[in-house]
Amino acid sequence: MSDKKQIQPIFFGGLPGAGKTTLICTLIQIALNDEKRFAGFKPFDTGLIQHNANETQMDGELICANMTGDPMGALVSPYIAHENYPHEMAFRRDGIRVDWNFIQKRIEILNDNYHQTLIELPPSLFTPITEQKMVIDWLAESKNSIIWVINPVREEFSQNLTEIQHLKSSGIPFDLVINNASKIMDQDLLYYIWEKVEEFAEIELFGMIPFIKNLDFNYKKPIPMIEKFTPDLIKKFLDKKTEQ
């Protein structure tokens, strides 16, 4: 598929628990319905020991399971630290040295074999990945756009505004979507967060994805809700020309 027209990767960011992996996996499934092959890429992760102890899958494994072509885990999630510490600290304790050229080559491989690459970022723009570089530094260097996913819990409201403010001031192109991952039932709170975020960001949100009951890693299940409540999010990907 190397002769296809290249489409720039899109980053997905958000605070912990916002639902970035779920959204990426669901978009991969939506693309398949449109006969498109999307790739997910989560280059940095931590907590392998805890996941193994709990017998749960890492996010990279979930992404791989939804992609076509049976990709290797090392392609989709190359840097995984054993301990559940902040990324830079966890990598340091494992002796992992991040090679940014290696990361770019992985993205190029995915770009050559898939119509679109969806890149999941570590939580927060201010997460240090290496001693010299935080997430926002990588974003600024890449010059790619980001979709910021908001879990509308009251405790993260101010932090999300802070993250959005830094996206605005950095000049990085961004879009916003609310994902009610925590099943917030307070309609007044949901309306307020939606209204305030749009006012603060000075852009319209894609909308709000409702809480999906009993998801159970079935990423076809959210498709009707995403198509109904955030149709412009779908159009962002499937209205693009992804000609081979």
- 6 confidence band (pLDDT: 50, 70, 90): low
- What is the mean pLDDT of the segment spanning 92-119? 97
CATH, domain 13-236, list 3.30.420.10, 3.40.50.300, 3.40.50.970, 3.30.420.40: 3.40.50.300
pLDDT value for 238: 87
> Is pLDDT above 80 for 244?
no
Domain map (residue ranges) of the chain = 13-236
Name the DSSP class of 71: -
pLDDT tens digits for 186-230?
999 999 999 999 999 999 999 999 999 999 999 999 999 999 999
Mean confidence (pLDDT) of the chain: 94
- 25 confidence band (pLDDT: 50, 70, 90): very high
- 17 confidence band (pLDDT: 50, 70, 90): very high
> Is pLDDT above 80 for 239?
no
Nearest CA among 16, 3, 25 for reference residue 216: 25
DSSP alpha helix (H) spans, the chain: 20-33, 48-54, 59-66, 73-76, 87-94, 100-113, 135-142, 157-170, 187-201, 223-229, 231-238
Contact yes or no for 222/212 (Cβ under 8 A): yes
pLDDT value for 235: 93
pTM exceeds 0.85, yes or no = yes
User: Count of H helices and E strands in the chain?
Assistant: 11, 8
pLDDT value for 240: 55
- 113 confidence band (pLDDT: 50, 70, 90): very high
- Residue 185: in which H helix or E strand, if any? none
pLDDT tens digits for 45-74?
999 999 999 999 999 999 999 999 999 999
Q: Which residues pair with 116 in a beta bridge?
A: 38
pLDDT value for 33: 94
- What is the mean pLDDT of the segment spanning 65-94? 97
Helices 20-33 and 231-238: angle between axes, nearest 10 degrees: 60
3-state secondary structure of 230: coil
Q: Are strands 116-120 and 38-41 parallel, antiparallel or unpaired?
A: parallel
> Is pLDDT above 50 for 37?
yes
- What is the mean pLDDT of the segment spanning 108-128? 96
- 7 confidence band (pLDDT: 50, 70, 90): confident
Q: Cα–Cα–Cα angle for 53, 153, 77, nearest 5°?
A: 40
- Residue 214: in which H helix or E strand, if any? none
Residues 6+ apart with CB under 8 A from 116: 7, 9, 10, 31, 36, 38, 39, 237, 240, 242
> Is pLDDT above 80 for 243?
no
pLDDT value for 163: 98
